Amino acid sequence: MEYSERILQIMQSKGITPYRLAKETGMTESLFSVWKTNPSSKIYAENLVKVADYLGCSVDYLLGRTNNPEVNR
């Protein structure tokens, strides 16, 4: 599973709209449309960190390095 698919899956499970996530992370809403049509599209590391922080999961989870979404601090 691509990171974009994990992001969209978490957003759906938490009832977070692309508009809300984009507005609160400073990303563009159109990025989510790109992810739906091309899940393997690239993302800047700083945006990946912003999304992970906002969604309350780890970057490793979004990247598929673990199946545990918990953040280890």
* Band (21; pLDDT cuts 50, 70, 90): very high
- Per the CB < 8 A criterion, the answer to whether 58 and 66 are in contact is yes
* Band (41; pLDDT cuts 50, 70, 90): confident
DSSP string computed for 15-33: T--HHHHHHHHT--THHHH
For the whole model, what pTM was predicted?
Answer: 0.84
Q: For the CA atoms of the chain, what is the radius of gyration?
A: 11
The overall average pLDDT reported for the chain is 88
Residue 71 has pLDDT above 80, yes or no: no
pLDDT value of position 73: 57
Burial of 68 (0-12, 13-18, 19+ CB in 10 A): exposed
- 56 vs 35 pLDDT, higher one: 56
